[in-house]
Amino acid sequence: MTAEHPTPDPRPARTAPITRGGARRKRPAERARGRRKPRSRKKLLLAATAAVVVLAVAATGTVYLRLSGNINTFDGQGLSHHRPQQTPGNAQNVLLIGSDSRSGDNAKLGGGTDPVGRSDTTILLHLYADHRHAVGVSIPRDSLVDIPPCLLPDGTWSQPRTNAMFNSAFTLGSTATGNPACTQNTVETLTGLRIDHTIVVNFAGFAAMTQAVGGVPVCLPKDIYQKDLSPSRTTQGKLIYRKGEQKVSGKAALDYVRLRHGIGDGSDIGRTKRQQAFISSLIGQVKNQGFSPTTLLPLANAATKSLTVDPGLGSAGKLLSFATSLKNIDLANIQFLTVPWKYSGARIALVHPDVDNLWATLKEDRTLDGKATTKQTKKKSTPTATASPVNGAGITVAVYNGTTTGLAARAADLLRAHRFTVTGTATASTQNHATTVVQYGTGLAIHAKTLARLFPHAQLQPITGARINLITGQDYASTTTSPTPAAPATMPSTVTKQARSADDNICSNLSYG
């Protein structure tokens, strides 16, 4: 077989024109190429930089999507319809809840089998408007409080409870994830402060976060043995932690913050002090490493896998933004304390009026020494009761005038404006009431507190029967509106002396009793 030859193209070959002297004349396209200047190094550098930026943005976006996919949010429908007014200015109230659920990966760390989520630790963190101060208030789990109606898994609302253990709010509904909305409702009822965000961290998430930051420096006032971690043991067992300073992470860090026995009186109050010291040290560790993506992204990756948050924090971007908002707070300006308390048998009773003064101090955005933050001072105005979104729907009240000035009708109008049902107005048995009184019967404490928000100086008074009475006093007569009570110039020393700053010695104030 012979090879086939291609058929010759009958068109004459195109050749470049010849110039004088025999040199070939360049075509126009070639002359244009010849005039182009070489691309400058600056332009190449800009192009490379742009490419890196695009890749970085894409990578960051991928990371954020991955982190956001880790985050669980709880149902905002479970939040109360009777919430306090919005936090003024740039101040924020964030509720931090440590869940001790044994479900999933937590079972390897908790040492138990109960699948119901329980709140082991609760801290109300107040971030001041100047973003340079913060106060964390621990609420002991055994505190006796009023629990308002809460949304249950079947779509119904629970009945209000009085004098109930604080951590029972988280267990309402008996689910593995707990009921953070109910805990938030309870804290808002207790404090009169609006909670802007709620964050729940479980065992696995806590352990992973401590590993992400390379461990957390802690201190123990004495040696800890196996029996201290497991009181049911019949023998002391092996030495687990030596007395003094050390660094812990993972399960060891979890054991540290959960340790109760073998130190002080073995109470939850003593454990709360060590938790405050631990969080202070953790914040210091993060600040030392810097609030940068290099530090925060691994921490966020560890945390988001085990976080449950309110819908307002349901993305990685929002969480990281919240974290970076803390970067300008000096450790000395981050304080922790436990809500004023006293023993009531085996439970914890809150001490009045100290606890009320504490909430009023935070509501006024004042530090524990009574000072107003810079931004709060600039924006300060006189708040009025009518500015508060109090919703009295479904609450029935009888109004009585307790002074020589006719106040019952005026108070009744105020109540109706806030959707309370007024059954009638009358004159009280005596007209010498200096202070407004809210009387309430069995099971009506929560409704009485809602009413009292319109009369901040009012005293709550339990009575027999199933009714609520409002007796107006001279404090209401002296003003056309009911001003929010001013926070005291300073908190009582019984409260402030137990507060610790995040820069305190890690070996100080670690136990009680």
pLDDT tier at 461 (50, 70, 90 boundaries)?
very high
Over 50: is that where the pLDDT of 484 sits? Answer: no
| pLDDT given for residue 376 in this prediction | 43
Nearest to 140 by CA among 168, 111, 162, 161: 168
Over 90: is that where the pLDDT of 333 sits? Answer: yes
DSSP code per residue over 385-431: GGGS----TT-EEEEEE-SSS--HHHHHHHHHHTTPEEEEEEE-S-S
User: Of 46-50, 93-97, 301-305, 461-465, which range is least confident?
Assistant: 46-50
DSSP code per residue over 205-233: HHHHHHHHTT-EEEEESS-EEHHHH-TT-
In a domain, 114, yes or no: yes
Over 90: is that where the pLDDT of 138 sits? Answer: yes
194 and 323 part of one domain: yes
In a domain, 362, yes or no: yes
Task: Give tens-digit pLDDT for 195-226.
Answer: 999 999 888 888 888 998 899 999 999 999 99
118 and 92 part of one domain: yes
Backbone angles phi, psi at 371, to 5 degrees: -85, 140
343-356 b/e with 16+ CB inside 10 Å = b?
A: eeeeebbbbeebbb
In a domain, 66, yes or no: no
Asked if residue 465 lies in contact with residue 396, where contact means CB atoms within 8 angstroms, the answer is no
Structure tokens at 211: 């590993």
In a domain, 25, yes or no: no
Over 70: is that where the pLDDT of 14 sits? Answer: no
Last residue within a domain, chosen from 349, 379, 409: 379
372 and 411 part of one domain: no
118 and 255 part of one domain: yes
Q: Is 101 left (phi over 0), alpha (psi -120 to 50) or beta?
A: beta
Cα–Cα dist 453/446, whole Å: 11
Asked if residue 361 lies in contact with residue 488, where contact means CB atoms within 8 angstroms, the answer is yes
More confident residue, 85 or 159: 159
More confident residue, 399 or 392: 399
More confident residue, 48 or 70: 70
CATH code, domain with 104: 3.40.630.190
| pLDDT given for residue 18 in this prediction | 44
pLDDT tier at 389 (50, 70, 90 boundaries)?
low
Task: Give tens-digit pLDDT for 144-175.
Answer: 988 989 999 999 999 988 889 999 999 999 88
Structure tokens at 253: 């860090």
Q: Which domain holds residue 166?
A: 73-379
DSSP code per residue over 100-134: ---SGGGHHHH-----S--EEEEEEEEEPTTSS-E
158 and 174 part of one domain: yes
Answer whether 0.95 is exceeded by the pTM.
no
In a domain, 61, yes or no: no
pLDDT tier at 371 (50, 70, 90 boundaries)?
confident
In a domain, 201, yes or no: yes
| Cβ-based neighbours of 462, under 8 Å, separated by 6 or more | 439, 440, 441, 442, 445
In a domain, 124, yes or no: yes
| pLDDT given for residue 300 in this prediction | 74
What is the percent of the chain with per-residue pLDDT over 90, rounded to a whole number? 33
Average pLDDT over residues 402-408: 79
342 and 318 part of one domain: yes
CATH code, domain with 401: 3.30.70.2390
122 and 242 part of one domain: yes
**Strand, coil or helix: 249:** coil
In a domain, 47, yes or no: no
Structure tokens at 157: 């609302």
Using CA atoms, how far residue 425 sits from 40, 407, 414, 457, in Å, is: 88, 9, 13, 21
| pLDDT given for residue 4 in this prediction | 45
372 and 391 part of one domain: no
| Total domains present in the chain | 2
283 and 310 part of one domain: yes
More confident residue, 90 or 438: 438
| pLDDT given for residue 280 in this prediction | 94
217 and 266 part of one domain: yes
Residues facing residue 122 across a β-bridge: 97
301 and 447 part of one domain: no
Structure tokens at 24: 């070939």
339 and 414 part of one domain: no
